[in-house]
Chains A and B, each alone.
Chain A
Amino acid sequence: MTLDQVGALPTIRGVSCILAHTPGLLRYGSKPTRELAKNDSTLLPRMQQHLRSFGDAVAYPPNQVFIGNRTPESLWDVPEPWWRYREANANPRGPFGQIVSEDAFWGLLRMSDDFGLVDIERSRLDRSARQLRATELWTDAELERVVRPATATSSSEAQLTLHAADGSQVGHVARGYPDDSSQTADILLENLACKASGALAIKQLLCQVGMAPSEVEYLLGCGEEAVGDRYQRGGGSISKAMAEMAGCTNATGSDVKAFCCAPVHALVLAGALVQSGIYKNVVVVGGASLAKLGMKMLGHLAKDMPLLEDTLAAVAILVGPANRSGVRLRLDAVGRHTVMSGGAAGAIYEALVTKPLDQLGLRITDVDKYAVELHNPEITFPAGAGNVPRTNYRIIAGLAVMRGEIQRDQVEAFERTHGMPGFVPTQGHIPAALPYLAHALPRIRDGSLRNAFFIAKGSLFLGKMTNMSDGMSVLVDRAA
């Protein structure tokens, strides 16, 4: 790539991060559903005793980091366990986004439903509409969709009952086509939750950057939900559904699928669409993953902790054209885990870290911050899954040792100097590096951070089509 082309690199214009605290929906996560099916009558009451209030979810320090009221690094100083530490005067709104309550989310689910699938009590929807109006993101016409009469038609056997956190019934979700295993009520709920949260993230993003929804030309969805029917189980494109809900009338979109690796694939593709001149404004959006609510709940119950996986998370990123002072997406050195790379940690990290950095003439220690799989360790640890970001940082540090850039006794410190504690809910693709982009953007703009490197990995083997995993990485920086 020539210098002229480097000068034309696309830029990151904005990032939004939203959370929806949905303790009532937790029971519809994949793990809770399977555990509850075992008919242990003590499980549901035990789960309910361990649900958090909205206030507790807002005051939870990692959630405050997610919406930008705290830095990730500030978590080093929060005494563990973080869930015992309630942030005083915690604000559900932050510079990157907001935390909405389940009451508000019922309204978003209703708003996201074009087929009369979701039926929710009118009194709750009135409350939802009021809460959503207060967010100042939705137009009157959009809010009207929250309270319009329901037209759910499927028989009660095919319905799924929605409950609030206290166990009271809230409404129902109907199935789609009869006898269609791809459109059972639980699958449609999962997809609608993804659509609703993604649309909220898009609205939030456009509000933050001051762009009219009609200016967005294309969207790339990077979530993991399979939207389709019996003949095309993962047909897609949830991104266009989100675009419609968010009022992006001049946009179309498509979905990028690569398990948890998809967000970085999508970011690179978005940059390429902008740099090629095909589109000017492209949004990358990752909706929430309802299936992952309560994923580690057995570990949390065993440790008598609150069920911390009670929160849906979504992220949206606006990629725009080159700008002299903008934060550049370094498409001239994208890291990718190829088929040939194999499965050993050394080969994977060479493909994802040292190869692209070599192309840019940078050492590992020249990167100020590495954003890796940023799972909140307090969620994963009690279930035996370890501290995911720490393992990643130690391996990158190990690479730096092997290249003679640091000493072996500096491996421990690398996490502090070039990394951060995990702060993201275990929502599959959402912890895949990009939530840190919201933090990096203002810091690169103000010069307190030179650059940041984003690494995502995907467990392709879970899908049983290959034993391989996948990985993608990209650097963002500011023109000198």
Chain B
Amino acid sequence: MILGAAEPVYVEMMAETVTAGDPTYTGPLAGVSLGLPVYHVTEPEVREITDASVYQEQIALSEIAMETEKIWESIRAVRAKNSGST
């Protein structure tokens, strides 16, 4: 699962939703643990396998606008918590 949201808190919430289940218990994934591997589109793991020109056109500007350090930190924490590895 690849996320693109800009807000670290929101990214964490969505990552949690598609791995352990909806932490807010408001949506259909409440209590449903899908355990999907989840990454943010700006993470090196995704960026490295993306066509550079497409990344430049579609993502580059948004990446500058995002607080990527915080986003990566929160999504890595969710991955670590739910799969035992980052």
Residues of A within 8 A of B (CB): 298, 302, 344-347, 349, 384-387, 391, 394-395, 397-399, 401-402, 408, 411
Quick check: B57 and A411 within 8 Å, CB to CB? no
The 4 closest A-B pairs by CB, nearest first: A398-B64, A394-B65, A386-B7, A346-B61
Of A298, A384, A408, most buried by chain B (CB within 10 Å of CB) is A384
* B 51-68 binary contact with A (CB < 8 Å = 1; else 0): 000000111111111100
CA distance A410 to B51 in the complex (A): 28
Quick check: A298 and B64 within 8 Å, CB to CB? no
CA distance A398 to B24 in the complex (A): 32
CA distance A346 to B64 in the complex (A): 11
- CB closest residue in chain A, given B10: A384
Contacts of A394 in B (CB 8 A): 6, 64-66
Quick check: A402 and B10 within 8 Å, CB to CB? no
Quick check: B65 and A345 within 8 Å, CB to CB? yes
Of B10, B64, B66, most buried by chain A (CB within 10 Å of CB) is B64
- CB closest residue in chain B, given A380: B7
Residues of B within 8 A of A (CB): 5-7, 9-10, 13, 24, 26, 57-66
- CB closest residue in chain A, given B56: A346
Quick check: B9 and A398 within 8 Å, CB to CB? no
Report whether over half of chain A's contact residues are helix, strand or loop; otherwise say mixed: helix
Given known contacts A298-B26, A302-B24, A394-B66, A386 and B10 CB-to-CB distance under 8 angstroms = yes
Contacts of B7 in A (CB 8 A): 384, 386-387, 391
Contacts of A344 in B (CB 8 A): 57-59, 61
- CB closest residue in chain A, given B25: A302
Q: How far is the CB of B42 from chain A (nearest CB, A)?
A: 12
Quick check: A398 and B10 within 8 Å, CB to CB? no
Given known contacts A344-B57, A346-B57, A346-B58, A411 and B64 CB-to-CB distance under 8 angstroms = yes
Contacts of A387 in B (CB 8 A): 7
Contacts of A302 in B (CB 8 A): 24
Quick check: B10 and A391 within 8 Å, CB to CB? no
Quick check: A349 and B61 within 8 Å, CB to CB? yes
Given known contacts A345-B62, A411-B64, A391 and B6 CB-to-CB distance under 8 angstroms = yes
Contacts of A346 in B (CB 8 A): 57-58, 60-62
CA distance A344 to B56 in the complex (A): 10
Say which residue of A385, A386, A395 sits within 8 Å of B61 (CB atoms): A395
CA distance A302 to B59 in the complex (A): 33
CA distance A302 to B25 in the complex (A): 11
Contacts of B58 in A (CB 8 A): 344, 346
Quick check: B26 and A401 within 8 Å, CB to CB? no
Q: 5 extra interchain contacts, Cβ-Cβ under 8 A, other than A384-B7, A386-B9?
A: A391-B7, A394-B6, A397-B64, A402-B61, A402-B64
Contacts of B63 in A (CB 8 A): 398
